[in-house]
Amino acid sequence: MSADTNMANGGGSNLIQLLDKFDTEEILNCMQCGFCLPSCPTYRQTGKESASPRGRIALMKGVAEGSLLADAEFEANMYLCLGCRACETACPAGVPYGSLIETAREVAEQAKQEDSPLRDFLFHEVFPHPNRLELLGAGLWAAQVSGLQTLADKTGLMRILPRPMREMQSAVDTVASPWARMQRESVMEAVGEQTGPTVGLFTGCIMDVMFFETNQATARVLTKAGCEVVFVSGQSCCGALHAHAGEKTGAVELAKRNIEAFEQAGVDLIVNNAGGCGAALKEYHHWFHDDPAWQERAQQFVAKVRDISELLAELPPLVFAKELHAKVTYQDSCHLAHGQGVRSQPRQLLKSIPGAEYVEMRGADQCCGSAGIYNITNLDMSMEILDDKMKNVGRTEAHYVVTSNPGCLLQMKKGIERAGQQGQMKAVHIMDLLADLV
Amino acid sequence: MNNEIKRELSAIVGERWMLDTPNELHVYSYDATPLYQAMPDAVVMPASVEETAAILKVANRHRIPIVSRGSGTNLCGGTVPTEGGIVLVTNRLNELYEIDQDNLTATFGPGLITAELHTAVEALGLFYPPDPGSMRISTMGGNVAECAGGMRGLKYGVTKDYIMGLQAVLPSGEVLRFGGKNAKDVAGYDITKLLVGSEGTLAVVTEITAKLLPLPKAKQTLVAYYNDLTDAARSVQRVIAEKIIPATMEFLDAETMRVVEAYAGIGLPLDMKAMLLIEQDGTEMQVEQDILRIAEICRREGATEVRTAETPEEGAKLMAARRAALSALARVKPTTILEDATVPRARLAEMVEQVGVIANKYDVQICTFGHAGDGNLHPTCMTDERDKEEIHRVEQAFQEIFHAAIKLGGTITGEHGVGIAKAGYLDLKVGTGGIELMKRIKDAFDPHGIMNPGKMFAKDTRRRVVVNTHECGHKHG
């Protein structure tokens, strides 16, 4: 690459190093066959090559070779991707698209050298700090129960929030009270004799604020399955949102904290209930390319990580206390299905519920448009994808749309609201559903 | 291309569908063919035949090259804009207008995805047989332009056997219709057939009417392993000589089997020289009878093991080996060059053996698999585009493979098309006289030579290897 093209790419030696980060080997492995195109939600919506995985990889190649700039257009194209990784499943050549798009966003961020205050605030001041998340949770709870939110809705105070956040907040249920949060015990013993492993529950950042109850439900299901559950202190956000948004340094710091926390806890397994977090946790060892000591520790960490459905499939079948007379369908979490290859286990769990009728949804493993904070950053595309998804959801005539990831859960709630199906249909996390029945 | 022309194009399709930013031009600079890339000046995505005609008029008036394309899955460089100009994307012309159950036809826009046509007609108990490997994303317009084939070619033929009528726009902007729903129609030259496989060098197809068949009721699969290549080839010939035409007869050579097994671990025997995958469809009784007889013939001709699928799931599992071939080969090395030299099926074994000899001679890794039943082979080279010296040897090897195919009475391409990748070899097949006649036909359609220029006909008759042709358009090399 010539000095000129480096300059043209935004200058700065950091950027040059980042461009070197592009694994040219992996980029070249893309044989441009186009098999990924039909699997890509944004390509299906637009019909444009630039909105396809093959197109994005071609653009990365252009930037890595210096024939394209890592400019605002490149950035927009990289961020239009949901990161659902359905293309990885479709790819004959096994191109690791997920890590390529993360690097591409890192390059775009570096080249931009101008910051978004809201984004910075979220990534640097909120997600990494469990105590601030606690506070945020308490504040959110106070607003919800005091009727402040309703008031804000009615008086138009909501208008001061950006439109995407206004749109999405209607899907948020009342979060757990600070009191309920304080009640959590650090260890929950197995119900009856402990026949399963001692499990450290990965609680997540947003998950533990907005879906505190789901974490509690997960723990209860695990204790019923014969496991001892430990809420490991010192853990933090998994770093996936940072990594997907080109904030690799922040992501690595968070990973180190989690590895340390779970090492000290000495648990047999590390279990999570969020497909997005789980995919990141299972990829920690890839984040330490140039740090052998940490890579070794990360590898040991990764070997212990399981999605909750994955673990339950390895344990003796759950014993149900209640029946469920309803139709149930499942919306795959992209990062659980395409990222971790966990597809059959949640379905098996749902099929094992006595009384329930399981209906498979057409295109269940196509992204719902939530994709981390994509529904905030790319609201319009996200809603287009969601409305398409809701057509398939509607066809199942299910009473419960079951998900395995908080983002998907919020999005499906939003989708049900947009489709005017609130009376007939409910979106629920798989653990919330099971905890009520075992 | 100046801004005035871009404004004209924008006025036709609307600003949203005229793309000329650096990223947008970049992503229409390639198709699925390795090693070729060239930048267009503008990309337009028309939504109707009227818009398409208006775009062509602008291009014709200003003598701007027009490259029409759908999903860009072709393997001959056919949609790389080697001389710049306008890339005309047909993805928005994707409507399925009609499935006529009385006349057994379907009529649709060129942007319709092949697999979507399959799904729609099969829901009504009907059947559109051509099934190119890329059918999940390839467009019907692209299938028509390249005359795509597929795994069912032996029994059912290829795209040209199913296209009954076309609406097409000439470079002048004139909109014409050829053929239609008539099963018998000999009114004048068969321009419909001429346009099928014309690779975007004559006109832009804007509407297609295809013939449909009743969907076969039953299907069965069989696999046979051989420790001698000629036994496998002879089995193919014997089956057909005994008046059985299977829907599919696929072939994997030893090298491909080894790579597939290493990747997919599906239990392929590694000491065998070849395997055949055979599928028959039709009425249940006929299928059962045929599969029994085919198994018997395979054994008699030297197959060491013959297995018949008991259930459709088992059948799909057997076919998985063939479908995994491309995936497996693609993971071996960064660059996968997939060719489609084709011979009369009686010469299959000779051709496969020659490919092996040629690969050794040039010290390159070539695996061969393909459609044994119709002699359509896919010698596939795993290489690395950064290794210029090896790419040169790859080119020499393929040149020799094309010559070998011609010598055996075959052809340089069975289903991928000539495009730019095989333009230098076309005269091997059709001769100088053939090329001259084809050029005169092109002149009649496209007097200013704006339709996909540089494709099908090489600039000069001196054959070039890919690394050299890089000088005249694309970027690598």
| Closest by CA position to B111, among listed B163, B55, B68 | B68
Q: Please tell me the predicted confidence (pLDDT) of residue B460.
A: 59
Taking the CA of residue B470 and the nearest CA in chain A, the distance in Å comes to 17
Other CB atoms within a 10 A radius of the CB of residue A197 amount to: 20
Smallest Cβ distance to A38: which of B19, B89, B137?
Answer: B137
Distance CA A315, CA A305 (A): 15
At A281, the pLDDT band (50, 70, 90 cuts) reads: very high
Does B385 touch chain A if contact means CB atoms closer than 8 Å?
yes
Taking the CA of residue A80 and the nearest CA in chain B, the distance in Å comes to 13
Q: Are strands A228-230 and A198-201 parallel, antiparallel or unpaired?
A: parallel
Query: What residues make up the domain containing B352?
Result: 333-416
Residue where a domain terminates, one of B397, B416, B435: B416
- Sort A143 into a burial class: Cβ within 10 Å, 0-12 / 13-18 / 19+: middle
User: CB contacts < 8 Å between A and B, how many?
Assistant: 90
- Say yes or no: B134 and B274 in one domain: no
Tens-digit pLDDT string for chain B (477 aa): 899 999 999 999 999 999 999 999 999 999 999 989 999 999 999 999 999 999 999 999 999 999 999 999 999 999 999 999 999 999 999 999 999 999 999 999 999 999 999 999 999 999 999 999 999 999 999 999 999 999 999 999 999 999 999 999 999 999 999 999 999 999 999 999 999 999 999 999 999 999 999 999 999 999 999 999 889 999 999 999 999 999 999 999 998 999 888 888 888 899 999 999 999 999 999 999 999 999 999 999 999 999 998 888 888 888 877 878 888 898 889 899 999 999 998 899 899 999 999 999 999 999 999 999 999 999 999 999 889 999 999 999 999 999 999 999 999 999 999 999 999 999 999 999 999 999 999 999 999 999 999 999 987 544 444 433 333 333 333
pLDDT in tens, A173-226: 777 888 888 888 889 999 999 999 999 999 988 778 888 999 999 999 999 999
- Say yes or no: B241 and B282 in one domain: yes
Residue where a domain terminates, one of B276, B296, B327: B327
Q: Please tell me the predicted confidence (pLDDT) of residue B323.
A: 79
**DSSP letter assigned to residue B113:** B
**Tokens 């209860």 belong to residue:** A220
Distance CA B336, CA A92 (A): 11
Distance CA A410, CA A373 (A): 11
In this predicted structure, which of A156-170, A339-353, B275-289 has the lowest mean pLDDT? A156-170
Smallest Cβ distance to B24: which of A33, A50, A52?
Answer: A50
Average pLDDT, chain B: 93
Q: Please tell me the predicted confidence (pLDDT) of residue A17.
A: 54
| Closest by CA position to A128, among listed A245, A262, A257 | A257
| Closest by CA position to B42, among listed B88, B92, B111 | B88
pLDDT in tens, A394-423: 999 999 999 999 889 999 999 999 999 988
- Say yes or no: B197 and B208 in one domain: yes
Does A31 touch chain B if contact means CB atoms closer than 8 Å?
yes
Q: How far is C-alpha A107 from the geometric centre of its chain's CA atoms?
A: 22
A315 near A438, Cβ under 8 Å? no
Question: Can you spell out the DSSP letters for B222-269?
Answer: EEEEESSHHHHHHHHHHHHHTT---SEEEEEEHHHHHHHHHHH-----
Distance CA A177, CA B417 (A): 67
Taking the CA of residue A47 and the nearest CA in chain B, the distance in Å comes to 6
| Closest by CA position to A21, among listed A292, A290, A281 | A290
The ipTM is 0.92
Q: Under an 8 A CB cutoff, do A62 and B73 touch? A: no
Q: Could you say which residues from 345 to 384 on chain B have a Cβ atom under 8 Å away from some Cβ of chain A?
A: 384
pLDDT in tens, B226-278: 999 889 999 999 999 999 999 999 999 998 999 888 888 888 899 999 999 99
Give the pLDDT mean for A114-127.
69
- Say yes or no: B95 and B229 in one domain: no
- Say yes or no: B116 and B24 in one domain: yes
**Tokens 């769990």 belong to residue:** A349
- Say yes or no: B319 and B237 in one domain: yes
Helix (H) or strand (E) holding B368: strand B365-371
Q: Under an 8 A CB cutoff, do B326 and A68 touch? A: no
Helix (H) or strand (E) holding B336: strand B335-338
Whether the predicted pLDDT of A250 surpasses 70 = yes
Q: Under an 8 A CB cutoff, do A74 and B386 touch? A: no
Site from B17, B80, B137 to mutate, A interface, most A CB atoms within 10 angstroms:
B137
CA contacts within 13 A on the Cβ side of B182: 9
Q: Under an 8 A CB cutoff, do B23 and A59 touch? A: yes
Whether the predicted pLDDT of A150 surpasses 70 = no
Beta-carbon contacts of B117 under 8 Å, excluding residues fewer than 6 positions away, are B96, B106, B108, B128, B140, B210
CATH number at residue B109: 3.30.465.10
> By CA distance, what is A72's nearest residue in B?
B23
Other CB atoms within a 10 A radius of the CB of residue B284 amount to: 12
CATH number at residue B266: 3.30.70.2190
Site from A9, A24, A31 to mutate, B interface, most B CB atoms within 10 angstroms:
A31
Distance CA A432, CA A268 (A): 24
Does B323 touch chain A if contact means CB atoms closer than 8 Å?
no
| Closest by CA position to A415, among listed A438, A437, A394, A436 | A394
Q: What total number of domains does chain B contain?
A: 3
Does B30 touch chain A if contact means CB atoms closer than 8 Å?
yes
Beta-carbon contacts of B365 under 8 Å, excluding residues fewer than 6 positions away, are B255, B332, B333, B359, B381, B382, B383
Residue where a domain terminates, one of B267, B292, B327: B327
Contact list, B24 vs chain A (CB under 8 Å)? 48, 50
Does A96 touch chain B if contact means CB atoms closer than 8 Å?
no
A73 near A63, Cβ under 8 Å? no
> By CA distance, what is B30's nearest residue in A?
A32
Task: Look at A25 and B404; give whichever has higher pLDDT.
Answer: B404
Q: Under an 8 A CB cutoff, do B31 and A38 touch? A: no
A30 near A52, Cβ under 8 Å? no
Tokens standing for residue B197: 């496989």
Q: Please tell me the predicted confidence (pLDDT) of residue A158.
A: 56
Does B71 touch chain A if contact means CB atoms closer than 8 Å?
yes
Contact list, B73 vs chain A (CB under 8 Å)? 33-34
- Say yes or no: B47 and B127 in one domain: yes
Does A1 touch chain B if contact means CB atoms closer than 8 Å?
no
Q: How far is C-alpha A122 from the geometric centre of its chain's CA atoms?
A: 16
Whether the predicted pLDDT of A392 surpasses 80 = yes
Distance CA B17, CA B55 (A): 12
CA contacts within 13 A on the Cβ side of B90: 35
Q: Please tell me the predicted confidence (pLDDT) of residue A1.
A: 33
Q: Please tell me the predicted confidence (pLDDT) of residue B461.
A: 46
Q: Could you say which residues from 71 to 90 on chain A have a Cβ atom under 8 Å away from some Cβ of chain B?
A: 73-74, 77
Does A272 touch chain B if contact means CB atoms closer than 8 Å?
no
Q: Please tell me the predicted confidence (pLDDT) of residue B468.
A: 34
- Say yes or no: B309 and B448 in one domain: no
Task: Look at B408 and A118; give whichever has higher pLDDT.
Answer: B408
Report CA dihedral (A288, A291, A294, A296) to the nearest 10 degrees: 90
In this predicted structure, which of A38-52, A146-160, A237-251, A405-419 has the lowest mean pLDDT? A146-160
Does B95 touch chain A if contact means CB atoms closer than 8 Å?
no
Site from B26, B326, B476 to mutate, A interface, most A CB atoms within 10 angstroms:
B26
Q: Under an 8 A CB cutoff, do B34 and A69 touch? A: no
Does B405 touch chain A if contact means CB atoms closer than 8 Å?
no
CA contacts within 13 A on the Cβ side of B232: 35
- Out of A92-101, A285-294, B274-283, give the one with best mean pLDDT: B274-283
Q: Please tell me the predicted confidence (pLDDT) of residue A136.
A: 72
Contact list, A73 vs chain B (CB under 8 Å)? 21-23
Q: Please tell me the predicted confidence (pLDDT) of residue B278.
A: 96
Whether the predicted pLDDT of A56 surpasses 50 = yes
Other CB atoms within a 10 A radius of the CB of residue A151 amount to: 12
- Say yes or no: B235 and B383 in one domain: no
CATH number at residue B351: 3.30.70.2740
CA distances from B366 to A429, B109, B377 (A): 50, 38, 12
Does B334 touch chain A if contact means CB atoms closer than 8 Å?
yes
Site from A37, A49, A63 to mutate, B interface, most B CB atoms within 10 angstroms:
A49
- Say yes or no: B379 and B356 in one domain: yes
- Say yes or no: B127 and B189 in one domain: yes
- Say yes or no: B208 and B277 in one domain: no
Tell me the one-letter amino acid at B146: E
Q: Under an 8 A CB cutoff, do B30 and A29 touch? A: no
Contact list, A94 vs chain B (CB under 8 Å)? 327, 330-331
Taking the CA of residue B136 and the nearest CA in chain A, the distance in Å comes to 7
Other CB atoms within a 10 A radius of the CB of residue A234 amount to: 12
Share of chain A above pLDDT 90, in %: 60
Smallest Cβ distance to A31: which of B23, B34, B91?
Answer: B34
